[in-house]
Structure 1
């Protein structure tokens, strides 16, 4: 198994007790969790908005996955910002990240 650095403070070196293991797993889950995002399409008159897509961003060294709200498209792209650039000729789209920043950022 590859060595993975954990950033949990005050955790002793392995092998871990059950409580230390639980703390390590929680820390790793938070540190490496994908960030969720929503892409909104804004009406030209700014009187309406709709969800265009949802996605998960796996970080700067990985890709992100997206799925459109109408089910018409899904796939991967290098970043949520790249998805916005791909949509810019179709209208006004906005990105909203709706979870906490990753612990390693």
Structure 2
């Protein structure tokens, strides 16, 4: 059974939120379109960074977390997987990994 909007009981619910592209012309050929998508990926890819903790003055250190720096925020997850945070910037991610005055975090870019 079809209703006034073209919906049937077999229509995936999310299709109701997306315009039907049937009848629309492709922007370009397959190769060019793939190239355009690769450019979008390259332009929007986040930068990977590590939050390292230095114990004392070069006494010891470790990678405490890994993060992705996006244009407008950063996502960080601890290496143990217990802490996941979203911060306004990659620099703000350091706050969560400072432990008193003896453990100082810093960013490192691979």
Normalization by structure 1: what TM-score? Answer: 0.68
Q: How far 1:47 sits from its partner (Å)?
A: 3.1
Instruction: Tell me the distance in 2 between the aligned counterparts of 1:15 and 1:70.
Output: 45
Which of 49, 53, 66 aligns to 1:37? It is 49
Q: Following TM superposition, where does structure 1 have runs of at least 4 consecutive aligned residues deviating by more than 3 angstroms? A: 85-90
Instruction: Tell me the distance in 2 between the aligned counterparts of 1:39 and 1:93.
Output: 6
**Which of these two proteins has the greater Rg computed from alpha carbons?**
2
| RMSD, aligned CA | 2.0
Q: How far 1:54 sits from its partner (Å)?
A: 0.6
Bigger RCO of structures 1 and 2 (CA < 8 A, at least 6 apart): 1
Q: Which runs of 5+ in 2 are unaligned?
A: 1-17, 19-25
The 5 Å alignment of 1:1-105 reads 15-59=27-71, 61=72, 63-88=73-98, 90=100, 91-98=103-110
Q: Which runs of 5+ in 1 are unaligned?
A: 2-13, 99-105
| Partner SS state of residue 65, structure 2 | strand
Normalization by structure 2: what TM-score? Answer: 0.66
Instruction: Tell me the distance in 1 between the aligned counterparts of 2:74 and 2:89.
Output: 6
Instruction: Tell me the distance in 2 between the aligned counterparts of 1:85 and 1:15.
Output: 46
